[in-house]
Structures are given as structure tokens and as C-alpha cells.
């Protein structure tokens, strides 16, 4: 190759890299696509957070619109979104709220719900982490929206605030209501 052309290699490499960087900026690093979107909710059977209520399995919930929230009393962002869920469980009567406790600290989770209010219609403990694995959960909190047929419509990673709720969840809900 011509020696003078070789000198352009660094600038060409840099421009290529900038192209990838520009691409990187166009995507939202918080959106982690879930292979589960538009797929049915995995079938599971897990104990309730309250031992006297026994076990829950997938069939107990299917048929309603579900909002499944993976949370833990130890998780600060979960504390942040908690008040919103309390509000929503009042205002959105047609949605069934399912709370899945992330880590086996049932005592503290129960205490947390007792002190700050319980927005969930069902409280499930992911006792052996199998549900978390089936749902591909990366951390707490995560929230899944499931339609009446048990299909997963949307997955959100991280805490939900009212703007996220209005921008992403509300339009999806309008489609299925």
C-alpha cells in the first residue's frame, strides 16, 4: 500500500468507531429486550409470602391483566416505586397486582408491607429462584405487564415512576382494554 495512504488508517479506524458510538447513543441502555415479550407467562407454582395462604400457580392469575413486580424489602429502588404501586392498586381496579419477593427474607418483606402498605393482590415468594430464571430477571425491581391471555406485553427493568407509567404502560393498557 502507498505509504501516505497508510497514514490515514488511524483516522479511518477512529471514524468507524465513531459510527458505532453514534449507534450506541441512539439506543437506551436501560431497555434490555426480553426474549419473553409476546410469549406466554412461564408456568410456575410458588409459595405465598404468607404461609397460611399456601401456594400459587400460574392458573390462579391468568384471565386478568397482570402487573408482575419483582421486588425485595432490601432493595432501595423498590422503596422508591412502592408509593406509585399503592396508588395504582387503588386506581386501576381491573389490574391484578402480583408481587414476587426476590430474595428469601420473608420476615422482612412481610414487615415492609405491613408498615408501608401492601399494593399486591397476590404475594409470591420466589423460593428457589426458578421463577426468576424463567422470567430472565436481572435484578430488582423489574416489572412485567401480562395481558388477559397470559401473554407478556412488556418488561421494564428498574424502578417505575409516574412518567414511565404514563408513557409506556398506559398506551399498552389502552390497547388491551
**Residue 11 vs 175, nearer CB to other proteins:** 11
**Residue 2 vs 91, nearer CB to other proteins:** 2
2 lines the binding site for other proteins (CB under 8 A): no
Least distance to other proteins, CB of residue 91, Å: 25
Least distance to other proteins, CB of residue 136, Å: 12
Nine-digit cell at 54? 399456601
**Residue 10 vs 94, nearer CB to other proteins:** 10
The mark string for 149-168 relative to other proteins (x by CB under 8 A, - otherwise) is --------------------
**Residue 92 vs 103, nearer CB to other proteins:** 103
Least distance to other proteins, CB of residue 96, Å: 28
Q: Is the peptide bond before 141 cis (omega within 30 degrees of 0)?
A: yes
Least distance to other proteins, CB of residue 128, Å: 17
Restricting to residues 11-30, name those near other proteins by CB under 8 A: 11, 14-15, 17-18, 20-30
Convert 92-110 to b/e letters by CB count within 10 Å (16 or more is b).
Answer: beebbbbbbbbbeebeebb
- What HEC string does the chain produce? CCHHHHCCHHHHHHHHHHHHHHHHHHCCCCCCCCCCCCCECCCCEEEECCHHHCEEEHHHCECEEEEEEEECCCCHHHHHHHHHHHHHHHHCCCEEEEEEECCCCHHHHHHHHHHHCCCCCEEEECCCCHHHHHHCCCCCCEEEEECCCCEEEEEEECCCCHHHHHHHHHHHHHHHC
The mark string for 59-98 relative to other proteins (x by CB under 8 A, - otherwise) is ---------------x-x--x-------------------
For other proteins, the binding residues (CB under 8 A) are 3-4, 7-8, 10-11, 14-15, 17-18, 20-30, 32-33, 35, 74, 76, 79, 103, 105, 107
Amino acid at each position: 500500500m502507498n505509504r501516505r495512504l497508510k497514514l490515514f488508517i488511524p483516522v479511518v479506524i477512529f471514524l468507524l468507531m465513531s459510527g458505532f458510538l453514534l449507534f450506541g447513543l441512539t439506543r437506551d441502555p436501560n431497555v434490555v429486550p426480553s426474549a419473553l415479550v409476546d410469549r406466554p407467562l412461564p408456568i410456575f407454582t410458588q409459595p405465598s409470602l404468607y404461609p397460611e395462604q399456601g401456594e400459587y400457580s400460574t392458573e390462579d392469575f391468568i384471565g386478568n391483566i397482570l402487573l408482575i413486580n419483582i421486588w425485595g424489602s432490601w432493595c432501595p429502588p423498590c422503596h422508591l416505586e412502592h408509593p406509585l404501586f399503592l396508588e395504582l392498586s387503588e386506581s386501576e381496579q381491573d389490574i391484578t397486582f402480583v408481587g414476587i419477593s426476590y430474595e428469601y427474607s420473608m420476615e422482612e418483606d412481610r414487615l415492609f408491607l405491613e408498615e408501608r402498605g401492601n399494593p399486591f393482590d397476590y404475594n409470591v415468594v420466589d423460593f428457589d429462584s426458578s421463577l426468576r430464571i424463567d422470567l430472565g430477571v436481572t435484578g430488582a425491581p423489574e416489572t412485567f405487564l401480562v395481558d388477559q391471555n397470559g401473554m407478556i406485553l412488556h418488561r421494564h427493568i428498574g424502578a417505575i415512576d409516574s412518567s414511565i407509567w404514563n408513557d409506556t404502560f398506559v398506551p399498552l393498557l389502552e390497547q388491551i382494554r
